[in-house]
């Protein structure tokens, strides 16, 4: 039976009873099959699995969707129980950010100011701050994150390395609908008209991968041609650490766009195997 906790004291008592390898999957709720994949990976690799549910106000900008972000605790708990999660930590805002605290946060450095960081200033300060707090209160051996939020994953890995956090960060591949759309809690915002238009993002990524043997410019050109009908925030090709794209070798293609009123992100890995001509 999955045990629900809402305070750090309750969680500490549950955590103290766990031995061996403990995995954690951090979520904002509105769980779907992508989260289930993270939980399955944690279950396969760990003796115990914790999940957290917390809609973190620090990572939302003033004009973003914090107020309307879906909160579906009952359905989420059913999925977590089905996945064999040992315990859930679902705190309120004041439990995570008690009144009177000094407001210390984690800054992501230069990599947090590009791509998502450029379009959502302060977003990754909020992400890294809450992730570090949750790593501390869960004491997890390993934490599982999806590759769909690739920049987030990269910055969390950097934070854990730079701050000597004794937790392994495990990446889990993006889970997609049969038609290619990356699973996201925000997909439920898409109207019947916008849902087919959202497939432009995954089409762009596939087109970029298909052009990888022709070099970086060809990748971006091919991907860009698939993005008509959506409002593109960025389309970028980088190395796996989000630095400049190499002439040859592993690279990452990332896209963010608004489809109607819904903002979606996606990415894929690829290998550049020819120099520009």
Angle CA 209–212–213, to nearest 5: 140
Residue 273 half-sphere exposure, CB side, CA atoms within 13 Å? 8
Q: Whole-angstrom Cα distance, residue 170 to residue 144?
A: 5
Interacting residues of 206 by C-beta distance below 8 A, sequence separation 6+:
180, 268
Interacting residues of 14 by C-beta distance below 8 A, sequence separation 6+:
3, 5, 86, 87
Tell me how far CA of residue 181 lies from CA of 4, 30, 187, 195, in angstroms: 32, 17, 9, 9
User: What is the secondary structure of 75-99 as a DSSP string?
Assistant: HHHHHHHHTT-SEEE---HHHHS-T
Q: Is 35 a catalytic residue?
A: yes
Q: Regarding beta strands 249-259 and 262-272, do their DSSP bridges make them parallel or antiparallel, or are they unpaired?
A: antiparallel
- Residue among 32, 35, 48, 123 flagged as catalytic: 35
Query: Count of CB atoms within 10 A of residue 72's CB?
Result: 15
Helix (H/G/I), strand (E/B), else coil: 125: helix
- The residues that are catalytic are 35
């Amino acid at each position: 039976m999955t045990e629900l906790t809402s305070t750090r004291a309750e969680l500490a008592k549950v955590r103290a009873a766990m031995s061996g390898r403990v995995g954690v999957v951090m979520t904002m709720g509105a769980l779907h099959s992508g989260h289930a994949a993270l939980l399955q990976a944690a279950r396969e690799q760990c003796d115990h699995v914790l999940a957290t549910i917390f809609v973190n106000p620090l990572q939302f900008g003033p004009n973003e969707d914090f107020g309307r972000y879906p909160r579906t605790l009952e359905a989420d708990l059913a999925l977590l129980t089905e996945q064999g999660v040992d315990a859930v930590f679902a705190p309120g805002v004041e439990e995570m950010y008690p009144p009177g605290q000094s407001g210390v946060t984690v800054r992501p450095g230069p990599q947090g100011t590009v791509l998502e960081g450029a379009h959502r200033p302060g977003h990754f300060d909020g992400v890294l701050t809450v992730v570090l707090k949750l790593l501390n209160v869960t004491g997890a051996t390993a934490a599982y994150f999806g590759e769909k939020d690739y920049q987030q994953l990269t910055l969390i890995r950097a934070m854990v390395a730079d701050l000597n956090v004794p937790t392994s960060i495990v990446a889990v591949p993006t889970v997609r609908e049969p038609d290619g759309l990356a699973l996201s809690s925000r997909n439920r915002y898409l109207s019947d008209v916008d849902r087919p238009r959202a497939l432009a993002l995954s089409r762009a990524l596939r087109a970029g991968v298909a052009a990888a043997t022709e070099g970086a410019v060809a990748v971006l050109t091919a991907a860009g041609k698939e993005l008509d009908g959506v409002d593109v925030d960025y389309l970028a090709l980088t190395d796996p650490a989000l630095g400049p794209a190499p002439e040859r070798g592993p690279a990452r293609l990332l896209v963010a766009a608004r489809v109607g009123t819904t903002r979606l992100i996606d990415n894929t890995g690829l290998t550049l195997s020819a120099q520009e001509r």
